[in-house]
Structure 1
Amino acid sequence: MEDKVADAGEHAHAPQLRRRLGQADLRAVPEARRALRALLRHWGKPGRSDIAELLTSELVTNAIVHTGHEAYLTATLGPDGLRVEVRDFVARRPEPRVPDADDGTNGRGLLLVQALADAWGVRTHGVGKAVWFELDAGAV
């Protein structure tokens, strides 16, 4: 797994994390959280980076568990806040659903994204889709 983190002072664009997520590699979930935590270490109101980590974990887990293919994580800090996107290569669109009691802790990821993100969505592309969310830094 390769992280690419760029500093805005070093490049003409916003700080960004890009990571390839291996096929069926659940180790990518905590690794993605750690990399995002490093990117966000000086960002936002207390608690906002925790929300970002949680939502990123959900998107990464969904991509790894439900597609059976590799995926790509991109997190970008811009003037309006944070945008996280997980791109995969399966066209099937995820849909938030209300889990039943038999689901245990499964089936709640997109509900969390829907409830906690400032914006979120699914963007289709030639082969597959990208699921994304945005968070502002919160009032300081």
Structure 2
Amino acid sequence: MRRRLGRGDLPAVKDVRHGLRELLRRCGSQSSADVAELLTSELVTNALIHTDRGAVVTAGVGPAGLRVEVRDFTPGQPEPGRATDESTHGRGLVLVQALADAWGVRTHEVGKSVWFELGGGQV
């Protein structure tokens, strides 16, 4: 799956979730679809809110499981937030850290990709 999202296109997050669920259904890997959708939504929303040039979402399922990558075109490293009970921000990367089997950030000449993986036994 590959989707290009325009700057601030938050309604597209729903379409990305549906596309991911369809990918997992076609691959017979639906057991962790809810977690995959949640983490993907968080990364896509972060990219669209905290950058100003849109994002590209790629997802694939292979022998090792699911890998989702969200690339933006703005420099800077994302950091897991420190949300308070009253805060509506700062939980996205904390969720990714807690629920993904692996995650990270890869820098590009222009921008970065934030990715996560869910293992084959869990997807």
Q: TM-score range by the shorter chain?
A: over 0.9
Q: Which amino acid aligns with 1:117?
A: A
**Stretch deviating more after TM superposition (113-122 or 91-100):** 91-100
1:43 is the counterpart of 2:26: no
Q: Give matches, 1:47-66, under 5 Å.
A: 48-66=32-50
2:15 pairs, out of 31, 41, 47, with 31
- Corresponding residue number in structure 1 for 2:60: 76
1:92: Cα distance to partner?
Answer: 1.2
The amino acid of 1:70's aligned partner reads G
Partner SS state of residue 121, structure 1: strand
Unaligned runs of 5+ in 1: 1-16
2:121 matched to 1:121? Answer: no
TM-score (norm 2): 0.93
In the TM superposition, what is the alpha-carbon distance from 1:67 to its structure 2 partner? Answer: 0.2
Judged with a 3 Å threshold, the aligned counterparts in structure 2 of structure 1 residues 139 and 73 are, in CA distance, closer, same or farther, namely: closer
| Deviation digits for residues 90-133 of structure 1 (CA, Å, limit 9, x no counterpart) | 11110002212341x32100000000000000000000000000
Query: 2:2 matched to 1:22?
Result: no
Tell me if the contact between 2:67 and 2:117 (Cα under 8 Å) persists in the aligned partners. yes
Instruction: Please tell me the root mean square deviation across aligned C-alpha atoms, in Å.
Output: 1.4
Aligned length: 121
Measured after TM superposition, the shift of residue 68 of structure 1 is 1.6
Aligned residues with identical type, % of pairs: 63
Query: Secondary structure of the residue that 2:60 maps to in structure 1?
Result: strand
Larger radius of gyration: 1
1:131 is matched with: 114
- Distance (whole Å) between structure 2 residues aligned to residue 63 and residue 97 of structure 1: 14
* TM-score, scaled to structure 1: 0.82
Alpha-carbon shift at residue 139 of structure 1 (Å): 5.7
Secondary structure, aligned partner of 1:43: coil
Question: Residues of 1 paired with 2:90 and 2:50: CA distance?
Answer: 11
